[in-house]
Structure 1
Amino acid sequence: MKLFNSLLLVLIIVLNFMFAEPSLADPPKITKSPDYVEVTKSLDILQGQLAATKSGQARSETLSAEDLQKKIDELSFQKYALEKGINWGQCRNETDKTIAVYGPKPKKPKTPYDNTLYFLGAGQATPTNWDCQGIYLPNDTKLTSLNTDPNQQLEGAIAIKIFKGTQLIAKNDPETGALELNISPSKFFKSGEINWYIPNVSERNIAFRVPDVPLGGEEETD
């Protein structure tokens, strides 16, 4: 009888370990991802700026309390989207010419960069589960999303990074022909500021490239 009770106790303990909440387990992987860490850090900074602005301790030279709150709301929504576990982004090209986007590195050839520059044809979209990480803007791009003046040119070539779970849509402004994005980029990078390949070339150099995004997902990546 004592042996039976001992075995029963051991069985109960084992079952508790199997079905109990993993309170001591590692947090979900998404909370350790670079995108999640970046969004969380940016939220903390903006919330601190908003609190200081409302209390009168500090005042942003460029953003009002309303602007700060809007950015906080957008990042909070982005954080929620990341927590849903979608680990890829999508880019759609609704312009009338080929654009360049960033995606996963192929297994061959090897590259020193964190990702690879691909060419996405007019009317094309990157496939499901293929992680589009951002868009490349040539040195003569006119972009309505970043400038109040649609005819103002950016200074040099840049890369815009998107978070996972984001669908970026690029199209032409019907009145000016400038590039229009459906997102409001919070940060863009020049060559040397991020380990991405950012060539200093014009739109013409990109427009005549053969599209090479693996639309069928047939290309193996790292």
Structure 2
Amino acid sequence: MKIWKSLLIVLMVLVNLAFAQPSFADRPKFSKNPDYIEVTKALKELSQTKDAQTQVEGLTPEEIQKRTEELTLQKYALETGINWGQCDNQTGNTIAVYGKTPNDEEDEDAVYDNNLYFLANGQSTENNWDCDGIYLANDVKVANFTSSPNGQGQELTGPAALKILDGTQLVIKTNPDTAAIDLNVPTVKVLNSKTANWFIPDISQAIINTRVPNAPSNQS
């Protein structure tokens, strides 16, 4: 009798595990990703602008269309499970990028939410490693950027951290005429020490150029 009871208990445990296994395999819902929420909201605002046939100050219809297309692809990337961004350095200098540790281990004693790495010229960050954004040195300018899909392009001077959305490949180049930084992505979020727990030092590009590149990277 005891044997049958023991077998019954074992059978019940196995059945419970069989039904519970799919729930263990469930991936986090992309709809809860902050980047997905932000992209969806921005697309809705741009769609309303186009439907109402109103002119956004400082933006041409072509620029609105370009931003809509960019956000549409970012939204699709997030829906298909791409939860990382990539940074491609074509500036002619070493740049500083933000990201987690390569092995994704959580450090309970970490002072900041991510780490600052150095990416050599001609390299892009490694596939599947999430580049959260780039550091802008105190003597470097971005000539034309916007922190909002409906925003007008403006000039930005560091020090600052520029955050990109998951699913984005950010290409950073130096404009040969102005020496300012050009970004291929129309919208980036500007962070400072008051808005994010990121390490944002007040240093020059010359100091960054002296650092040993240590970002997980691919040859570009």
Q: TM-score, normalised by structure 2?
A: 0.70
Instruction: Give the Å deviation of 1:116.
Output: 1.3
Task: Give yes or no for the alignment of 1:116 onto 2:112.
Answer: no
CA contact (8 A) 2:133 2:162 kept: yes
Task: Give yes or no for the alignment of 1:137 onto 2:139.
Answer: no
Instruction: Give the Å deviation of 1:64.
Output: 4.9
1:127 aligns with 126
Deviation digits for residues 97-148 of structure 1 (CA, Å, limit 9, x no counterpart):
210001114645832322111111222221121111111111211224439x
Gaps of 5+ in 2: 1-18, 20-25, 147-153
- Of 70, 87, 109, which aligns to 1:91? 87
RMSD over aligned CA atoms reads 3.1
Q: Between the two proteins, what is the percent identity of the paired residues?
A: 49
Query: Aligned AA for 2:202?
Result: N
Cα distance in 2 for partners of 1:153, 1:47 equals 26
- Give the aligned length: 186
My pick for the range that moved more, 132-141 or 178-187, is 178-187
1:181 aligns with 183
Q: TM-score, normalised by structure 1?
A: 0.70
Instruction: Give the Å deviation of 1:39.
Output: 0.7
CA contact (8 A) 1:140 1:153 kept: no
CA contact (8 A) 2:95 2:208 kept: yes
Cα distance in 2 for partners of 1:180, 1:96 equals 12
Structure 1 residues 27 and 51: alpha-carbon distance in aligned structure 2, compared to 1, 3 A threshold? farther
More strand by share: 2
Task: Give yes or no for the alignment of 1:62 onto 2:61.
Answer: no
Cα distance in 1 for partners of 2:142, 2:206 equals 16
Gaps of 5+ in 1: 1-17, 19-25, 217-222
Cα distance in 2 for partners of 1:63, 1:179 equals 21
2:13 aligns with none
CA contact (8 A) 2:145 2:155 kept: no
Query: Aligned AA for 2:84?
Result: W
Cα distance in 2 for partners of 1:81, 1:108 equals 28
Structure 1 residues 28 and 139: alpha-carbon distance in aligned structure 2, compared to 1, 3 A threshold? same
Query: Aligned AA for 2:115?
Result: T
Task: Give yes or no for the alignment of 1:32 onto 2:28.
Answer: no
Query: Aligned AA for 1:86?
Result: I
Query: Aligned AA for 1:110?
Result: D
CA contact (8 A) 2:115 2:199 kept: yes
Task: Give yes or no for the alignment of 1:104 onto 2:100.
Answer: yes
Task: Give yes or no for the alignment of 1:196 onto 2:198.
Answer: yes
Instruction: Give the Å deviation of 1:65.
Output: 5.0
CA contact (8 A) 1:144 1:179 kept: yes
Structure 1 residues 69 and 167: alpha-carbon distance in aligned structure 2, compared to 1, 3 A threshold? closer
Deviation digits for residues 141-191 of structure 1 (CA, Å, limit 9, x no counterpart):
1224439xxxx9634312211122221122222333332222223432233
Structure 1 residues 123 and 155: alpha-carbon distance in aligned structure 2, compared to 1, 3 A threshold? closer
Cα distance in 2 for partners of 1:175, 1:62 equals 23
